[in-house]
């Protein structure tokens, strides 16, 4: 009998950005992988092209990023239930808060299948320092949904301690993994010649102090605090014209950030590069990276800069605490501390050359625990555990109580077929009764 698994996310570029290695692992294990997402959501990476290359059919559902868009998400839940009954799906791997909500509810509401449910939390929305509203709105929901979760995956110590207190399905497991894994072969220090030519292409002078941020342009990524820091530095520093700040990324805040740049008089200092596919080439030309996010589950952009041997001036959050060592691979300050970011930037800027070389070496060294090979092995173990449940009968019959699976690793808490051509996939969807709507 074919084994099918559904990967569920809210944004269509998620698979291309984060899930390609997981898809390959599952296919090696003999699974047919399906991908359910909102194909109408704006995307900055071609997630559907990645799915096509991997032979993964993409199913459109009306899932919304916000849990409060009830009409969309109620429709998406009905579409998920249709998918579970239309295909021999034995397991669901859901991501993002709303994906985790709908995926686990769908598993619960489909008792004739009882699929194995894996949820990866890329950073709980309740955390130390989060607004009280986040704790009131998200914590009870996550705690309640945990009882419908077979495997809960987190990516930092704070979330792991929280997840250990949840009551999962009987036999459920909690894992902490090193994020999606860092490709340290791709993100490696540039040679002097590569760096010189790269700065020429980017229009950055050899004598300029070049800062870089990488991330979506939105409120959480907090680029505003860096702009405020630069404006303050400009007002007090005669040497300021030599400083340049490049922002790689796109998003809903693009026009707003353009307005801030004009208001703060930083048009000659800040460069908006937009979405780029050559992030290693840009990072490798930087003198320092700035990573000001308010909230991060881990923060791959910070790790990527460190792997390039570039010191990071980062905001203090549960994600950056996993790898930042102040004074050794960069500097850390509260997310809204303008003066703290100024001190961090100036500390790197005025550092002696020998100290810079030592810091660059430690930056690279500090990323080894997050290498992609460690993440791959962790996910192999997680999928092997899910496969044990599938082979024991889950996802193919009604529930008959918990399965007595034991696993040494982890912490206990309580034949392929080709992808359907797009035209055929749409035709199948149109045949479906009920809530389906094609994009």
Dump pLDDT digits (tens) for 294-322: 999 999 999 999 999 999 999 999 999 99
**How much is the pLDDT for 210?**
98
Q: Are residues 171 and 213 in the same domain?
A: no
Q: Which has the higher per-residue pLDDT, 270 or 129? A: 270
Closest CA to 79 of 100, 45, 56, 102: 102
Residues 284, 142 contacting (CB under 8 angstroms): no
**pLDDT surpassing 80 at residue 35:** yes
> Same domain for 116 and 236?
no
Residue 437 maps to a domain: no
Domain range for 129 is 3-181+372-431
**pLDDT above 60 (res 408):** no
pLDDT of the residue at 12: 84
Burial class (CB in 10 A: 0-12, 13-18, 19+), 404: exposed
Q: Are residues 171 and 236 in the same domain?
A: no
Query: Is 187 among the domain residues?
Result: no
According to DSSP, the β-strands at 89-95 and 116-120 are parallel
205 in a structural domain: yes
In a domain, 439, yes or no: no
Same domain, residue pair 162 and 241? no
Report yes or no on 114 lying in a domain.
Answer: yes
pLDDT at residue 43, as a whole number: 60
Domain boundary among the residues 325, 348, 370 is at 370
Cα–Cα distance list, 15 to 22, 81, 96, 303, 381 (Å): 9, 21, 12, 20, 20
Domain for residue 325, yes or no? yes
Is 353 inside a domain boundary?
Answer: yes
Same domain, 382 and 354: no
What is this structure's pTM?
0.86
Percent of the chain with pLDDT over 90: 79
Q: 210: which 2 tokens?
A: 């070049």
φ/ψ of residue 20, rounded to 5? -65, -40
83-107 pLDDT, tens digit each:
999 999 999 999 999 999 999 999 9
From 340, 370, 400, give the residue that closes a domain: 370
Q: Coil, strand, or helix at residue 187?
A: coil
Q: Is 376 found in the same domain as 332?
A: no
Number of domains in the chain: 2
Q: Is the pLDDT of residue 336 over 80?
A: yes
Question: Looking at the structure, do residues 353 and 378 belong to the same domain, yes or no?
Answer: no
Residues 101, 156, single domain; the answer is: yes
pLDDT at 380 over 90: yes
Q: What CA–CA distance (Å, rounded) separates 394 from 387?
A: 9
- Both 115 and 161 in one domain: the answer is yes
- 370, 390, 408: which is the final residue of a domain? 370
- Do the beta carbons of residue 230 and residue 270 sit within 8 Å? yes
Q: In CATH, what number is assigned to the domain containing residue 409?
A: 3.40.50.2000
Evaluate whether residue 436 is within a structural domain. Answer: no
What is the rounded distance in angstroms from the CA atom of residue 322 to the CA atom of residue 302? 11
Vertex 276, ends 270 and 281: CA angle to 5°? 85
Rg for the chain, CA atoms, rounded: 23
Residues 215 and 138 placed together within one structural domain of the fold: no
User: What value does the mean pLDDT of the chain take?
Assistant: 89
Residues 143, 271: one domain?
A: no
Q: How far apart are CA 120 and CA 411, in angstroms?
A: 15
β-pairing, 288-291 vs 270-274, is unpaired
Count Cα neighbours of 222 within 13 Å in the Cβ-side half-sphere.
Answer: 21
Residue 152 and residue 32 in one domain: yes
């Amino acid at each position: 009998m074919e084994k099918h698994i559904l990967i569920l996310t809210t944004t269509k570029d998620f698979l291309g950005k984060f899930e390609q290695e997981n898809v390959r692992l599952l296919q090696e294990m003999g699974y047919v992988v399906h991908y359910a997402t909102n194909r109408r959501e704006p995307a900055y990476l071609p997630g559907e092209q990645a799915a096509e290359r991997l032979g993964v059919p993409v199913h459109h559902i009306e899932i919304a990023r916000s849990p409060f868009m009830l009409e969309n998400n109620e429709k998406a839940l009905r579409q998920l239930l249709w998918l579970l009954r239309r295909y021999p799906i034995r397991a669901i791997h859901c991501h993002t808060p709303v994906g985790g909500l709908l995926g686990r509810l769908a598993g619960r509401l489909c008792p004739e299948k009882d699929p194995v449910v894996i949820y990866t939390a890329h950073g709980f929305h309740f955390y130390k320092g989060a607004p009280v509203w986040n704790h009131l709105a998200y914590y009870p929901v996550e705690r309640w949904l945990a009882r419908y979760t077979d495997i809960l995956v987190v990516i930092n110590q704070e979330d792991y301690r929280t997840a250990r207190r949840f009551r999962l399905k009987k036999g459920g497991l909690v894992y902490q993994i090193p994020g999606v894994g860092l490709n340290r072969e791709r993100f490696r220090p540039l040679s002097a010649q590569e760096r010189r030519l790269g700065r020429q292409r980017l229009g950055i002078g050899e004598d300029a102090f070049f800062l870089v941020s990488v991330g979506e342009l939105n409120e959480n990524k907090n680029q505003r605090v860096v702009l405020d820091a630069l404006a303050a530095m400009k007002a007090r520093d005669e040497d300021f014209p030599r400083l340049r700040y490049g922002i790689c990324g796109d998003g809903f805040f693009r026009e707003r950030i353009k307005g801030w740049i004009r208001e703060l008089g930083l048009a000659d200092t800040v460069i908006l590069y937009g979405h780029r596919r050559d992030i290693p080439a840009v990072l490798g030309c930087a003198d320092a990276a700035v990573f000001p996010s308010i909230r991060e589950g881990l923060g791959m952009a910070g790790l990527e800069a460190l792997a390039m041997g570039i010191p990071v001036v980062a905001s203090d959050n549960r994600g950056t605490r996993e790898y930042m060592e102040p004074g050794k691979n960069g500097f850390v300050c509260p997310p809204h501390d303008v003066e703290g970011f100024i001190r961090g930037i100036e500390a790197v800027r005025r550092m002696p050359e020998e100290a810079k070389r030592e810091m660059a070496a430690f930056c690279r060294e500090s990323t080894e625990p997050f290498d992609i090979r460690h993440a791959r092995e962790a996910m192999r173990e997680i999928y092997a555990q899910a496969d044990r449940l599938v082979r024991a009968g889950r996802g193919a019959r009604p529930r008959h109580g918990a399965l007595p699976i034991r696993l040494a690793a982890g912490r206990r808490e309580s034949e392929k077929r080709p992808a359907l051509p797009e035209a055929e996939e749409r035709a199948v969807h149109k045949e479906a009764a009920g809530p389906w709507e094609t994009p």
